[in-house]
Amino acid sequence: MHARNSILGFLRHTVLALITVFVLTPFLWMVSTSLKPPNEILTSELHWWPRQFHGYQNYWDAFTTLPLGRYLLNGAIVTAAIFSLQVLIALPAAYALAKLKFWGRDVAFALVLFCILIPFHAIAVPLFIQLHMLGLLNSYAALVLPFSMSAFGIFLMRQFFMTVPDDLVDAARLDGMSEIGIVWRIMLPTAIPALTAFGIFSVVSHWNDYFWPLIAISDDKLFTPPLGVVAFRNDDAGNNYGPLMAAATIIIAPLVIAFLLAQRRFIEGIAFTGMK
Amino acid sequence: MAQVDLSQVRKSFDRTEVLKGIDLSVAHGEFVSLVGASGCGKSTLLRVIAGLEPLSQGDVVIDGRNVNGISPSERDLAMVFQSYALYPHLSVFDNIAVPLRMRRLNLLQRAPLLRWLMPGTQTTEHEIRRDVERVAKLLAITELLARKPGQLSGGQRQRVAVGRAIVREPKAFLFDEPLSNLDAKLRVHMRAEIAQLHRELGATFIYVTHDQAEAMTMSDRVAVMMDGGLLQVAPPAEIYNDPQDLRVAEFIGSPKINVIDLIASGDGTVGLNGSHVRINAKSPPGQRVKLAFRPEVARLIEPVAGGVCGRVTHVENLGPDIFVHISAAGSASPIIVRTEPRGWRARVGDNVGLEIPPGRALLFAGNGRRLQGAV
Amino acid sequence: MSDAVLQIAGIVPPQEVPAPQGLRPAAHRSDRARIAAAYALSAPALLLMLVLVIAPLFTVVVLAFTDYQLGERTLRFVGLANFRTLASAAVFWKALGNTAVYVLVVVPGSVALGLAAAMLIEGGTRLKAFYRTVMFLPIMATLIAMAIVWEFMLHPTFGLVNLALEAVGLRGRNWLQDGDTALYVLAVIGIWQQFGFNMVLFLAGLLSIPRHLYEAAAIDGARSGWDRFCLVTWPMLGPITLFVAVISTIRAFQIFDTVQALTRGGPNKATEVLLYSMYAEAFEFFRTGYAAAIAVVFIVLVTMLTLIKTNLLERRVHY
C-alpha cells in the first residue's frame, strides 16, 4: 500500500508540476527576455538565461522611453482615490441600511442589488458622454469618479454590519454618540477584515483595469499602468522586446509583490468577495 | 460476528502519545463501552480499530485476523458516527444501500447510466432492495426510505446511520458517541433501542461515549479510559461497586462519589465513625489515604465526636431523592448524601454527622489505587 | 382617587389603550433625528447610484433607439432600426458567435482545470501553499501586461511557443494572425488567467466537505479514489461547481482586453467579440446609438446569467 501511495504521490506532483509550468512560463519568459540583449531575443535559438546580461539597459530603457514611473504613480493615485471614495460613500450607507430603520430602506437595498447586476461595460458609453458634457474627460476625475460608488462594496459592508450586535450601537448612542460618529468610530474598526477583503478586490480590479482608462484618457501623462504598457508596445518599432518585457515586469511587479507578501489575505479577499 | 483483540496498542500524533499501550479483548457478541472524559483517547482508539488512523505500535486482531495496515474498507466493520455522516445527496434508501452496492457491484455495474445495461445488475439490485427493506422494517423507518437526510429529524437520521451499519452484517459494530447530538429525552429512548438492537442482532458492539450513564445502562462490560490508558474493564456493577482506581470511582456515578482525606494511624487502621478499619499494611502510618463512599451509602445522624461531621450548605429536592450537601473537614468539595423525602429533613445550616457503613466504603491510597480494607 | 377605582365604580369610562402597531410613528425627537441621519448617511450613495448607474442604464437603453452620434448636437428616434440593422449585420452575428465559442472553450477549460488543481492540491500534503500561490498569480498580474507577454511568446519567429515546438520537430504557426487559431489562442490565455480564481473557490468547497463523509465512505467499502470521488466529492461539490461555472461564464462574456490589445477583432473578424464590437462602434466609428443597441444585447445576456448565479447562491444551502 505504501508503494501505491508513492506512485500516486508521484503522479500528483507530476501533474501539479505540469500545471505550474503552464502558469509560470509567461512570467519566466517575460523576466528572461527583459534581461537579454536584442541579438539574443531576435533569434531562433531557445535559451533562458542571457549569455550577456543586458538587464540594466533594458530596464533603464523601459523607464526612460516612456514615463513608466509616472504611470505607476498614476495607478497608485487612482486606486487609492477610488478606494478611499468608495469607503467614504459606502460605509455610511451600509450602516444606514443595516442598522437604521427608515421609510424606503428596502427599496434602497433593492436598488443596491440591482446596481450590482449591471455590468460596467454596458453603461460605459453613457458615462463617457456624461463626463464629456461636464468637460471632465481626460482627467483624474474621469478615472476616479465613475467608480467612487461601489454597489458591491455597499452590499458587502451591509451584510457585514448585519452581523454586528445591535447592543454595540445602542451602547454608543447611550454614550451620546451621533449616528455619523457611530459609523466612523464604532463600525469602521469592526469592519477592518471585510474592508481589507474589499480593498484588495478594489485595488486589484482597478489597477488592472484597461477598458475604462482606454476610452476616458488620451493624455499620456494620465496613463495608468495598463495603458502605459500598451503604449509602450504600440510606440515601439515592434522589435524592442527587451525593454517591453522589462516594462511589463515593472507594471505587474507591485501587485505581485504585495500578493507574495500577503498571500493568504489576497486569496481570502478575492475568494470571499467572489463568493458573494 | 467476531472477537476483537487489541494488544499493546500505542498511538502517537507527532510527539504526543495519545494511546499508551491498550490491551483489550472484546468477546464475540459482547457490548463493550469505552468511556472517559474528553481527550482520553477513546475516539482515537475506536478509529484505530476501524483503520481510520494507523497505529504506531501494537496489534489489532479481528476474528483471528491481524488487520494492521489493512484499509477500513477491507476490515468488514461498520461504524456509526457522531455526526451520522449520511450522504446528503442520497435518499435514505440509497444511503443504506451504499455498502451493499460497494460490495456486490463492480465498477461498471455502479456506473451512472451504464449500469442498467450490465448483466447481473438487475438481480443484485433486487437483492439489495430486499435487504434494505428488511433493515428499514427492523428500525421502523420504512416510510422514510424516499426522503433525503436533510428532511429527517435527529433521531431519524440516527436510525438511518444505524441501518447503514447493520445492513452489511459486519464482523463488529463501532459507535462513536452516536447519541451526543440528541436531546436528553431522545437519548434515554435511544439507549433502550440500541440495547434492544444488540440483543436482537447478537453482534459485537464497541461503543464510545463520554456519558457514563450510557455506558452503564447498555454494556456487558465498561472500559474506563483516561489519558490514553485503560483504568478498568469490568461489568457495570463491578465498575460501580468495586472500582480499582479512584478516578474510575469518580467518573462513574452521579452525583459524584464522596471522597474524604484521612491519615492512617500507627496500627494499620484508619479512624472511621469512631471504630477502626483495618487497612492493607502497605500503607505506613501517617500516610494519606482516601475514603470514598457513594451518596446513597451514608446516613445522616446527630453529630458524633470523633466521627465525620459537618454543616449543611445546600439541599436539592429532586422529588424521589433529596441530596444534602455538607461541608466537612477532610473534603475539599461538599459531601453529598442522598436521603429519602420522608422522615427527618435536613436544613441549610444544620450541623450533622455522617454514618458510613465500613463494608460499603472504599479505600484508596494517596495515588488513587484501591486498597482492601475490613472492619 | 385613582382612575382605576373610578373606572370600577363605573364613573370614569375605561381609557382606550392604543393597540401596538408594527411601526410606531416617530414621536420622539431622537427617533426623528435618527431617521434624518439615516437619509443623510445614505444620500450620497443613493445619489451616486442614480447618477452613475441608473441614469446611464436608462440612457443606454434610450440611445439604442436613436441614431445618436458622439459629437452631434441632435438625435432622432429611430425605433427598432438599430436592432434591425444588428440582426442583419453579419459582423454582429460573427461577434456573438465568437463570444459564444470563446465562452464555450474558456468556461469548461477553466472550471475543469480549477477543479483538477484544487483536488490535486488538497489530495496531498506537501507544498500546498506553494502551488496555491503560484496558480493564483495570473489573477494578480495585470492582464494586459501578460497579454503582451503572451503576444511575444506567440511570435511566429522568436516566440517561445514556436521555438519550443520546433525544438521537438513540430511546425509552429502564426497563432494570432491565423484566423483558424486566433480565437482559440485567446481562449487559452483566458483559461490561463481565470482558472486560479476557480481553483480557490473549489479549494474552499473541498475543505468544507465534512471529513466524516470520507470516513463513512471508506468504511462502507469505497476503496479507490474514483469511488470516493463519485460518492462524496463530486456530489458535495455539485452546487459549487455550478456556481463557479456561472461566474466563469459571466467573466468570459466580458472579454475585451486581449482582443483590443492583441488582435483588434482580427484577422478578418475571427476574434471579433461582443464587447469589442460595442467599443469599436462607440469609440472608433462614433455610431453611439448602434453601440448602445449592442450594449443592450450585452446587458440582457449578462443579466440573465447573473440572475442564475444569484438564484444558485440562494439555493446553495439546500443540503
Average pLDDT value over all residues in chain A = 87
The distance of B221 to chain C (nearest Cα, Å) reads 25
- B338 contacts B296 by C-beta, under 8 angstroms: yes
Q: Which among C123, C254, C292 has the least Cβ separation from residue A125?
A: C292
The distance of B79 to chain C (nearest Cα, Å) reads 7
Q: With a cut of 70, which residues of chain C have pLDDT below it?
A: 1-29, 313-319
Q: Do B99 and C220 touch (CB under 8 A)?
A: yes
Q: Do A149 and C48 touch (CB under 8 A)?
A: yes
Query: What is the rounded CA–CA span in Å between residue A230 and residue A220?
Result: 11
User: Is the CB of residue C22 less than 8 Å away from at least one CB of chain B?
Assistant: no
Residues of B in contact with C225 (CB under 8 A): none
Q: Which among B51, B85, B107 has the least Cβ separation from residue C216?
A: B85
Cβ neighbours around A8 below 10 Å, total: 13
What's the mean pLDDT in B247-265?
Answer: 84
Q: pLDDT digit string (tens) for A38-78? A: 888 887 777 888 888 888 888 888 888 888 889 999 999 99
Task: Return the residue matching grid coordinates 382617587.
Answer: C1
**Among all residues of chain A, which has the CA nearest to that of C35?**
A102
Instruction: Find, among B31, B13, B29, B19, the residue nearest to B219 by Cα.
Output: B31
- Chain centroid, CA B189 distance in Å: 16
The pLDDT, as a whole number, for residue B279 is 55
Query: What is the rounded CA–CA span in Å between residue A46 and residue B230?
Result: 68
Pairing type for strands B31-35 and B205-209 reads parallel
* 3 state SS of B34: strand
Query: What is the rounded CA–CA span in Å between residue A102 and residue C32?
Result: 10
The distance of C10 to chain A (nearest Cα, Å) reads 43
Mutant choice from B14, B44, B52, B114 vs C, greatest count of C C-beta within 10 A: B52
Residues of B in contact with C222 (CB under 8 A): 73, 102
Q: Which among C210, C220, C236 has the least Cβ separation from residue B98?
A: C220
Average pLDDT value over all residues in chain C = 84
Q: H-type helices in chain A, by residue range?
A: 2-34, 38-41, 55-65, 68-99, 105-117, 120-134, 140-144, 151-162, 166-174, 179-182, 188-190, 192-207, 211-216, 225-235, 241-261, 263-275
Q: Among residues of chain A, what percentage have pLDDT more than 70?
A: 95
The pLDDT, as a whole number, for residue C12 is 44
Q: Do A274 and C166 touch (CB under 8 A)?
A: no
- B314 contacts B327 by C-beta, under 8 angstroms: no
User: Is the CB of residue C213 less than 8 Å away from at least one CB of chain B?
Assistant: yes
Pairing type for strands B221-226 and B362-365 reads unpaired
Instruction: Find, among A220, A100, A221, A105, the residue nearest to A162 by Cα.
Output: A100
Q: Do C221 and B150 touch (CB under 8 A)?
A: no
Size of interface A-C (CB pairs under 8 A): 277
- pLDDT band per the 50, 70, 90 thresholds, residue A276: low
- C164 contacts C158 by C-beta, under 8 angstroms: no
pLDDT at B262 over 60: yes
The pLDDT, as a whole number, for residue C25 is 53
Cis before C267 (ω within 30): yes
Size of interface B-C (CB pairs under 8 A): 68
User: Between C274-283 and A120-134, two packed helices, what is the crossing angle to 10 degrees?
Assistant: 10
Q: What domains, with CATH codes, occur in chain A?
A: 67-273 (1.10.3720.10)
Q: What domains, with CATH codes, occur in chain C?
A: 81-317 (1.10.3720.10)
Q: Which three cell numbers stand for residue B207?
A: 461503543
Pairing type for strands B373-374 and B57-62 reads unpaired
The distance of B29 to chain C (nearest Cα, Å) reads 20
Mutant choice from B49, B83, B102 vs C, greatest count of C C-beta within 10 A: B102
The pLDDT, as a whole number, for residue A9 is 80
Q: pLDDT digit string (tens) for A126-173? A: 999 899 889 888 899 999 999 999 998 999 899 889 888 888 888 888
Task: Give the DSSP H or E segment for A163.
Answer: none
Residues of B in contact with C235 (CB under 8 A): 87-90
Residues of B in contact with C316 (CB under 8 A): none
Q: Do C163 and A45 touch (CB under 8 A)?
A: yes
Q: H-type helices in chain C, by residue range?
A: 3-8, 29-49, 55-63, 81-88, 90-123, 128-140, 143-153, 160-167, 182-207, 211-220, 225-228, 234-253, 257-258, 274-283, 288-315
Query: Subunits with at least 3 CB pairs below 8 A relative to chain B?
Result: C
Residues of C in contact with B88 (CB under 8 A): 235-236, 319
User: Is the CB of residue C125 less than 8 Å away from at least one CB of chain B?
Assistant: no
Average pLDDT value over all residues in chain B = 86
What's the mean pLDDT in A93-111?
Answer: 89
Q: pLDDT digit string (tens) for B42-71? A: 999 999 999 999 989 999 999 889 999 888
Instruction: Find, among B309, B360, B358, B351, the residue nearest to B330 by Cα.
Output: B309
Q: Do B73 and C219 touch (CB under 8 A)?
A: yes
Which is higher by pLDDT, B117 or B16?
Answer: B16
User: Is the CB of residue B71 less than 8 Å away from at least one CB of chain C?
Assistant: yes
Query: Subunits with at least 3 CB pairs below 8 A relative to chain C?
Result: A, B
Q: Do C120 and A271 touch (CB under 8 A)?
A: no
Q: Do B85 and C222 touch (CB under 8 A)?
A: no
Q: Do C144 and A229 touch (CB under 8 A)?
A: yes
Instruction: Find, among B190, B184, B214, B163, the residue nearest to B34 by Cα.
Output: B214
Q: Which among B71, B87, B90 has the least Cβ separation from residue C218?
A: B71
Query: What is the rounded CA–CA span in Å between residue A264 and residue C102?
Result: 31
What's the mean pLDDT in B226-239?
Answer: 93
Q: Do B83 and C212 touch (CB under 8 A)?
A: yes
The distance of C282 to chain A (nearest Cα, Å) reads 7
* 3 state SS of C174: coil
User: Is the CB of residue C79 less than 8 Å away from at least one CB of chain B?
Assistant: no
Query: What is the rounded CA–CA span in Å between residue A123 and residue C275?
Result: 12
Query: What is the rounded CA–CA span in Å between residue C158 and residue A240?
Result: 12
Instruction: Find, among B98, B82, B101, the residue nearest to B43 by Cα.
Output: B82
ipTM score of the complex? 0.85
Mutant choice from C219, C232, C234 vs B, greatest count of B C-beta within 10 A: C219
Residues of C in contact with A19 (CB under 8 A): 113, 116-117, 120, 135
Q: Do A259 and C132 touch (CB under 8 A)?
A: no
Q: Do B73 and C318 touch (CB under 8 A)?
A: no
pLDDT at B318 over 90: no
What's the mean pLDDT in B271-286?
Answer: 56
Q: Do C140 and A259 touch (CB under 8 A)?
A: yes
Task: Return the residue matching grid coordinates 474510575.
Answer: B248
Q: pLDDT digit string (tens) for A248-265? A: 999 999 989 988 888 877
